[in-house]
Structure 1
Amino acid sequence: MRFKIETANYIQNWTNSIGNSLVKWVHYSVVAVLLFSGIAKIIDPLPLIKTLEATKIFSYISWGNEINIFIATTLPIFEIGLAFLLFLKIKLKVVLQLTLLLFTSFLLYSIYGYYLGLTNDCGCFGDIIKSEFGVGMIVRNLGFVLILVFLNSGRKRDYA
């Protein structure tokens, strides 16, 4: 009887260890994506600016071009800031929720671009990785949103 209990405890500990390792791996993968994306946009912000102009979200405002430049300037800083806060696990609950909000906005933006029929590069990763509007981009962004929902739900342990 004792052998069965010890074996069950060992299996449960092993399963928890694998689960914690997976959560940590996913967590740091999100950090890497945010860092890569932010740095790529800093290196070459033009694809993002062109995409913002193509969607014409702010074209009806007289200072719409300035808004596009502001977004292209602040978005990579915001992404890199979130990446560092996630990496250091500072205010993890708030930072994970902000990251989920960011990726949800990326998902909605990709759906909007697909709806408009855009086929150009979105500027998500500068000119380093091509990423055109389409079903693939929507699926990728949906995947990121689901990953962040998963991380937000498992945050209770803060990835012990």
Structure 2
Amino acid sequence: MVDLLAADPHGWDDWFGDSESAEQARIQANRVGLHVLGVGIASRDIPALSADMAEGGREAAGGLPERLARREPVPAGRLLGFELVGYDCGLWHTWTCLGGLVRDVGHATGVRPGRWGLIQDERQARRAADWLTASKLGDPKVFLWVAAMLVAVPGARERARSE
């Protein structure tokens, strides 16, 4: 995953407040191939993740801590799968960006990415995140890993076709 559009014009926030504003930014960017993804974090992971963000530079997390505190629902859309993510000093990392973690998790737990490079089963994703956190293999960058649910949020055209 890569950041393609900032959520605000000054580039301070990588997380859009809602799917409508993300869709507007996608349209205004006028670039082919951009998609809006909804990201969900399990409510039981929010306290530990919030504490981790506060310790690692919460101000760099943009509006995400407040949205997590409100426990907003994941936008409606097609479930793509789960990605293991962790926070470090204002940056988000995935298990694929820190060399060898996908292999290490696969050897230890049998969990491997599937379609789109994502884990397709939530229980497997949670087990992999728990193992990765306990293993401390993300050190010194990431100490806490969580399974983030990724959802393809339909754009205005797709919503109009389905109505």
Does TM, scored on the shorter chain, surpass 0.5? no
- Tell me which protein shows more strand as a share of its residues: 2
Instruction: Report which of the two structures shows the higher radius of gyration computed on alpha carbons.
Output: 1
TM-score normalised over the length of structure 2: 0.29
